Chains A and B, each alone.
Chain A
Amino acid sequence: MVDLTRVQKELQECNKDVEVSGIRVAPKADSLIHLIGTIPGPLGTPYEGGTFNIDITLPDGYPFEPPKMRFATKVWHPNISSQSGAICLDILKDQWSPALTIKTALLSLQALLSAPAPDDPQDAVVAQQYIKDQNTFISTARYWTEAFAKATGVEEKVKRLIEMGFPEDLVRSILEAVGGDENLALEKLCSA
Chain B
Amino acid sequence: MEDWMSCEEDYDSSDRESPDGFENEDSDSHWMPFKGPSSKVITKESLLAAQKEDLRRVMEVLSLQEHHARTLLIHYRWDVEKVLAILVEKGRALLFAEAGVTVGENKDSDMPGSSSTVLCNICIEEFPGNEVTSMDCGHCFCNNCWTEHFIVKINEGQSKRIRCMAHKCFAICDETVIRNLVSKRHPDLAEKFDRFLLESYIEDNKMVKWCPSVPHCGNAIRVEDDEFCEVECSCSLQFCFNCLSEAHSPCSCLMWELWTKKCRDESETVNWITVNTKPCPKCHKPVEKNGGCNLVSCICGQAFCWLCGGATGRDHTWSSIAGHSCGRYKEDREKKAERAKRDLYRYMHYHNRYKAHTDSFKQESRLRETIREKISNLEARDSRLRDFSWVTNGLYRLFRSRRALSFSYPFAFYMFGDELFKDEMTKEEREIKQHLFEDQQQQLEANVEKLSKYIEEPFDEYEEKKIMDIRMLVINISVITDTLCKKMYECIENDLLGPLQFSVHNIAPYQSKGIEKAVELAIGRSSKTNVNQHPESDSQTNGGNTESDQPSASGTSDESGCPSRKRARKGSFGCSLIDLNLPAEAIDRN
Seen from chain A, the residues whose Cβ lies within 8 Å of a Cβ on chain B are 3, 5-6, 9, 61, 63-65, 91, 97-100, 104
The reply to whether B152 and A97 contact each other, CB–CB distance below 8 Å, is no
A64-B152, A65-B152 known; A3 vs B165 contact (CB < 8 Å): no
Is B235's CB within 8 Å of the partner chain A? no
Which residues from B are CB-within-8-Å of A63? 122
List 11 A–B pairs whose Cβ atoms lie within 8 Å, in order of A's numbering.
Answer: A3-B123, A5-B123, A5-B125, A64-B152, A97-B163, A97-B168, A98-B148, A99-B122, A99-B165, A100-B167, A104-B167
A60 vs B415: C-alpha distance when bound (angstroms): 56
Evaluate contact between B152 and A99: CB separation under 8 angstroms: no
List the 5 shortest-distance A-B pairs measured between CB atoms, nearest first. A97-B167, A64-B152, A98-B165, A98-B122, A99-B167
Q: Which of B125, B148, B166 contacts A99 (CB 8 A)?
A: B166
Interface of B is mostly: loop
Given A61-B152, A98-B145, A6:B165 Cβ within 8 A: no
For B166, the closest partner residue in chain A by CB is A99
Q: In the complex, which residues of chain A have a beta carbon less than 8 angstroms from the beta carbon of B165?
A: 97-99
Other A-B contacts than A64-B149, A65-B152, A97-B163, 12 sampled, CB-CB below 8 A, are A5-B125, A9-B124, A63-B122, A64-B148, A91-B167, A97-B165, A97-B166, A97-B167, A97-B168, A98-B165, A99-B122, A99-B167
Contacts of A97 in B (CB 8 A): 163, 165-169
CA gap between A61 and B122 in the complex, in Å: 13
B274 at the interface (CB under 8 A from A): no
On chain A, the residues within 8 Å of B124 by CB distance are: 5-6, 9
Partner of B149, one of A5, A91, A98, A104: A98
B121 at the interface (CB under 8 A from A): yes
CA distance A65 to B122 in the complex (A): 12
Report the minimum CB–CB distance from B39 to chain A (whole Å).
36
Residues of B within 8 A of A64 (CB): 145, 148-149, 151-152
Residue of A nearest to B125 (CB): A5
C-alpha spacing A61/B149, complex, angstroms: 9
A58 to B210, CA, bound (A): 40
Please tell me the number of chain B residues within 8 Å of chain A, measured between CB atoms: 16
B574 vs chain A, min Cβ distance (A): 64
B169 surroundings in chain A (CB, below 8 A): 97
Are the C-beta atoms of B152 and A6 separated by less than 8 Å? Answer: no
Contact pattern, B 102-133, Cβ under 8 Å of A = 1, otherwise 0: 00000000000000000001111100000000
Contact with A along B134-146 (1 / 0, CB 8 A): 0000000000010
Shortest CB-to-CB span from A102 to chain B, Å, is 13
- Pick the most buried of A6, A99, A100, A104: most chain B CB atoms within 10 A of its CB: A99
Residues of chain A contacted by B148 (CB below 8 angstroms): 61, 64, 98
Task: Give chain B nearest CB distance to A156 CB in angstroms.
Answer: 42
- The answer to whether residues A6 and B168 also contact, given A64-B149, A64-B152 and a CB cut-off of 8 A, is no
* Residue on B nearest A65 in the bound complex, by CB: B152
Q: Which chain B residue lies CB-closest to A64?
A: B152
Contacts of A5 in B (CB 8 A): 123-125
Closest to B151 in A: A64
Which residues from A are CB-within-8-Å of B167?
91, 97, 99-100, 104
Closest to B144 in A: A3
Q: How far is the CA of A61 from the CA of B167 in the complex (A)?
A: 17
Shortest distance between the CB of B159 and any CB in chain A (Å): 15
- In the bound complex, how far is the Cα of B151 from the Cα of A153, in angstroms? 48
Nearest neighbor of B149 in chain A, beta-carbon distance: A64
Give Cα A97–Cα B121 distance, bound, in whole angstroms. Answer: 11
| B148: nearest chain-A partner, CB-CB | A64
Interface residues of B in 50-77 (CB under 8 A from A): none
Contact of B123 among A6, A91, A100 (CB under 8 A): A6
Q: How far is the CA of A63 from the CA of B168 in the complex (A)?
A: 16
Question: With a CB–CB cut-off of 8 A, which chain B residues contact A6?
Answer: 122-124
Cα distance, A5 to B121, chains bound together (Å): 13
- Residues in B146-200 with C-beta less than 8 Å from chain A: 148-149, 151-152, 163, 165-169
Which residues of A lie under 8 Å from residue B121 when comparing CB positions?
Answer: 99
Chain B nearest CB from A4 CB (Å) reads: 11
- Compute how far the CA of A64 lies from the CA of B120 in the bound complex, rounded to whole angstroms: 14
The answer for the CA separation of A64 and B261 in the assembled complex, in Å, is: 45
Q: Cα distance A3–B145 when bound, in Å?
A: 10
Question: What B residues does A3 contact at CB under 8 A?
Answer: 123
A63-B165 Cα distance, complex, nearest whole Å: 10
A9–B163 Cα gap in the complex (Å)?
Answer: 25
For the complex formed, measure the closest distance between the CB of B125 and the CB atoms of chain A, giving whole angstroms.
8
B165: nearest residue on chain A (CB-CB)? Answer: A98
Residue of A nearest to B121 (CB): A99
**Interchain CA distance A99-B169 in the complex, whole Å:** 10
